[in-house]
Structure 1
Amino acid sequence: MYSFMGGGLFCAWVGTILLVVATATDHWMQYRLSGSFAHQGLWRYCLGSKCYLQTESIAYWNATRAFMILSALCATSGVVAGILAFSRQPTSTRLSRPFSAGIMFFTSSLFVLLALAIYTGVTVSFLGRRFGDWRFSWSYILGWVALLLTFFAGIFYMCAYRVHEGRRPSTPR
């Protein structure tokens, strides 16, 4: 049980850090504009070496931002629940800590998947036509890696829950 939780906690820590970095950085997309390179994130866009806040309230940016923030919050609470899962708990609790941590990581994975799907769909269909020479950049890729890590953290914690349930003495009803 503890080896599954240890693997889950490692994936969770790295995934949460990557979620925060991906959300905060300005390299979701790179493109060429008027002969110079530019890049943009969820909060700012940069032309050359000068960066500007994105002041427009465009729905897909707001949705992507909201889902990324929710994902980071769920992953953080999953890390806390995952750390607490290492402590001894009475066997009569209704909801086990590894199960709770696993659910939080699966929820985080769902939120980051929604954020990346929204951003990908709008970028490919709208911004891809607007800018000729463009590509997704490293912040966007970190989001996909964080998705995988939080999903695997959820799997590890669900496996730990199953192992823990197998050891629990059965009580007659």
Structure 2
Amino acid sequence: MAPPPARRARLTRDPFVVLWLVFAPLARNATAAALREVVAEIHAGAATAEERAELYTALLVMATIDPWGHNLRKELIKMVEDKEEGLLRRTPIIGEMIIEAEQRGEDRGEQRAIAELLGRLFARRIGRRPTVEEERSIVERARTMGPGEVEDALLDLEGEALVRWLAAPIRSS
């Protein structure tokens, strides 16, 4: 993926070669190690910080496309941030994209924790794990009503009453 070390010095002087490096994440054999070399090539070959930011932005866009399912975007962000401290976060569109992705990850993690905790409580009360639909209802009710309200229902309602409560439409407060 990256050029051999002997040719590397010559290639980084050519701006078109540096530009083509942004397509590396689209390679079938893209790896974190190969992308680390690409980040180093862009760092060494781009003429200015602004040019580097544009190339890194393009590299991240290509990593987001990710036709082979490599999921290297998060590692790539870390690599660039390690090389160019804060550069991506200072780049408006990419900074927003990173913050949004982090927030989605936190939200998913929080929802997963709530689902697991309340799902275990459901299992103890009913004697089985909740179905996908019941779990979805638990999470949605925890989001709209608050986890404490759902926990109270899971503790107070018995068997079929609890299942019916989860299946019923959520009443708005």
User: What is the TM-score of this pair, normalised by structure 1?
Assistant: 0.31
Higher strand residue share: 1
Higher RCO (C-alpha 8 Å, min separation 6): 1
User: What is the TM-score of this pair, normalised by structure 2?
Assistant: 0.31
Higher helix residue share: 2
